Amino acid sequence: MKVSVIIPVYKAEKYLAVCVDSVLQQTYKDLEVILVEDGSPDQCGQICDEYAKNDSRVKVIHKENQGVSMARNTGLELATGEYVQFVDSDDYLDIHMIETLVNALEESEADLVLCGLYEKNLNFDRVSKAEEDAGVYEKTQFLKGIMKNPYSFHYGVLWNKLFKREIIGNLRFLADMDFGEDFIFNLHYFGCCHTIRVIDEPLYYYIRYNMDSLMYIQAEGKREFSSYLRYLEKRLLLFERYQNFYKEQGLYEAYANQVNEYLLKVYVSEKIEIKRRHMTKQEKKQCLALLNENKQVKALKQEMAPAYYRKKVLKFRLAKYKVILRDTFVKN
């Protein structure tokens, strides 16, 4: 079975060769490597073309810059493999990754397989295992597991997973979202699965050195006030789509509190963040109003039992302050 590996490329000339080489050198050889050069102003375009000249498995598309979601959608339109994997251009793979994922998928006859990963940046180098224990999970069982920790890295990212192109079908990344679009894509794919295979072996190297990459640019956009306000809007929209997904799956009525805890954590975390930010009083007031006037937040306060609500708010506040203290300690 052929695997289509889709790699959006933008301002990654220092890292691109390591990334692409790690794909082309895989022990699994039946590959189609799609490099989507997203209007990068550096030498990425030339590097991509050179790979295409030297290896017939490489396809290159040059397009104007529209962001990582549109780049991935372009890759999906070109993909012809039975399986699809997404890779970021500043990361790289264990040499056995694709073979291991394909074998795991086919042995279990699952519709998706996900694995652990390595996180590497200037401050740490650590293994990040999947939320679930290794095994095969029926769809509803897996979706219930997401409710416990929907903000987990493993549910939100694409690149520790192997997808079936047939199941992806017409599913695409949302152009109107620049926050959480991978999570929404994953959710809708999970919703189309019968079973999901989890292996705990770390096979993907997630690198956080590149300050110019598409993913980093999106994450850092929330620093400016106007961008932060838009980030808040997108984060609340993300929850709305998350909530709607569980309604579509017929699970919301039975698990409303668990689903809504995601919004409560967002609400508590962002209220603390707003108070800590270097913004004017008027800017803080505007951000708090956006949170407090949100229809889902209002409904949440009305639907949750007061004692349960207070208990969860306290829990999430303590968790947020622990993160703040940890980050302060690391920086100092």
CA dist., res. 122 & res. 157, Å (int): 21
Check pLDDT > 60 for residue 35.
yes
Indicate if 138 and 76 belong to the same structural domain: yes
Q: Do 20 and 31 form a contact (C-beta atoms < 8 A)? A: no
265 inside domain: yes
Residues 51 and 181 reside in one and the same domain: yes
Mean residue pLDDT across the chain: 89
> How many domains is the chain partitioned into structurally?
2
Say yes or no: 153 and 237 in one domain: no
Same domain, 180 and 253: no
Do 61 and 138 lie in one domain? The reply is yes
pTM: 0.88
pLDDT at 266: 86
Query: What pLDDT does residue 317 have?
Result: 72
Give CA–CA dist 327/229, Å, rounded. 23
Do 284 and 175 share a structural domain?
no
Q: Are residue 209 and residue 152 in the same domain, yes or no?
A: yes
SS3 of the chain: the string is: CCEEEEEEECCCCCCHHHHHHHHHCCCCCCEEEEEEEECCCCCHHHHHHHHHHHCCCEEEEEECCCCHHHHHHHHHHHCCCCEEEECCCCCEECCCHHHHHHHHHHHHCCCEEEEEEEEECCCCEEEECCCCCCEEEEHHHHHHHHHHCCCCHHHHCCCCEEEEHHHHCCCCCCCCCCCCHHHHHHHHHHCCCCEEEEEEEEEEEEECCCCCCHHHHHHHHHHCHHHHHHHHHHHHHHHHHHHHHHHHCCCCCCCHHHHHHHHHHHHHHHHHHHHHCCCCHHHHHHHHHHHHCCHHHHHHHHHCCHHHHHHHHHHHHHHHHHHHHHHHHHHC
**What's the rounded Cα separation, in Å, for the pair 45 and 65?**
12
Residue 232 included in any domain: yes
State how beta strands 161-164 and 83-86 pair. Answer: antiparallel
Distances (CA, A) of 320 to 62, 230, 267, 303: 42, 21, 11, 24
Single-letter residue type at 28: Y
**pLDDT given for residue 322 in this prediction:** 62
- Domain boundary residue, one of 214, 234, 251: 214
Residue ending a domain, among 214, 244, 269, is 214
Domain stops at, among 170, 189, 214: 214
Is 219 inside any structural domain?
Answer: no
Ramachandran sector of residue 11 (left: φ over 0; alpha: ψ -120 to 50; beta: rest): left
Residue 221: its pLDDT value, please? Answer: 41
Same-domain status, 192 and 228? no
- 57 in any annotated domain: yes
Q: Domain range holding 171?
A: 3-214
* pLDDT at 329 > cutoff 50: no
Please determine, for residue 156, whether its predicted confidence score (pLDDT) is greater than 80.
Answer: yes
Q: What pLDDT, on the 0 to 100 scale, is given for residue 186?
A: 97
Between 221 and 115, the higher pLDDT residue: 115
Are residues 29 and 47 located together in one domain of the fold? yes
Q: What is the CATH number of the domain that holds 199?
A: 3.90.550.10
Same domain, yes or no: 67 and 179? yes
In a domain, 177, yes or no: yes
Give residue 216's pLDDT: 44
The pLDDT of residue 331 is above 70: no
With respect to residue 17, please indicate whether it lies within any of the assigned structural domains.
Answer: yes
Classify residue 239: in a domain, yes or no.
yes
- 31: nearest Cα among 93, 115, 110: 93
Same domain, 246 and 165: no
Tell whether 25 and 122 lie within a shared domain. Answer: yes
Can you tell me which residue has the tokens 């961008």? 227
Question: Is residue 241 situated within a structural domain?
Answer: yes
Model confidence pLDDT, tens digit, residues 228-283: 888 899 889 999 999 999 999 999 999 998 999 888 888 888 888 888 888 899 99
Residue 122: C-alpha distances to residues 96, 126, 275 (Å): 26, 12, 29
